[in-house]
Amino acid sequence: MKLGLLSDIHGNCYALKAVLDALKHKDVDTLIITGDFVGYYFWPSEVFNLLKKWNVVAICGNHDRMLESAMNDKSYRLKVLKKYGSGLEAAIKELDGETLRWLMRLPNSLEYETKDGNILLCHGSPWDGDEYVYPDLNDESLNRYIDLNVGWVIQGHTHYPMHKKIGDISVINPGSVGQPRNGETGAQWALLDTESGKVIHFCEQYDFLKVIKESNKRHPEIPYLANILERT
Beta strands in the chain (DSSP E): 2-6, 30-33, 56-58, 109-114, 117-122, 152-154, 161-166, 169-174, 187-193, 199-204
Return mean pLDDT, the chain. Answer: 95
Strand-pair partners of 161: 174
**In this predicted structure, what is the pLDDT of residue 232?**
54
DSSP-derived 3-state class of residue 83:
helix
Share of the chain above pLDDT 70, in %: 100
Q: Tell me: pLDDT of 202 over 60.
A: yes
What average pLDDT score do residues 153-182 get?
Answer: 96
Evaluate whether 15 touches 209 at the Cβ level (below 8 Å): no
What's the rounded Cα separation, in Å, for the pair 156 and 173? 5
Q: Tell me: pLDDT of 230 over 90.
A: no
Task: List domains and CATH numbers for the chain.
Answer: 2-108+176-226 (3.60.21.10)
Containing H/E element for 13? helix 13-23
Query: For the segment 68-85, what is each residue's pLDDT rounded down to a tens digit?
Result: 899 999 999 999 999 999
What average pLDDT score do residues 124-146 get?
Answer: 92
**In this predicted structure, what is the pLDDT of residue 231?**
73
Beta strands in 68-149 (DSSP E): 109-114, 117-122
What average pLDDT score do residues 30-54 get?
Answer: 97
* pTM confidence score: 0.96
158: left (phi over 0), alpha (psi -120 to 50) or beta: alpha
Evaluate whether 199 touches 169 at the Cβ level (below 8 Å): no
Report which of 184, 179, 217, 138 is spatially closest to residue 16, judged by C-alpha positions: 179
Q: Tell me: pLDDT of 30 over 80.
A: yes
Q: How far apart are the first and last CA of the chain?
A: 34
Q: Tell me: pLDDT of 100 over 70.
A: yes
Q: How far is CA 152 from CA 70, 83, 132, 148, in A?
A: 33, 34, 18, 9
Evaluate whether 30 touches 106 at the Cβ level (below 8 Å): no
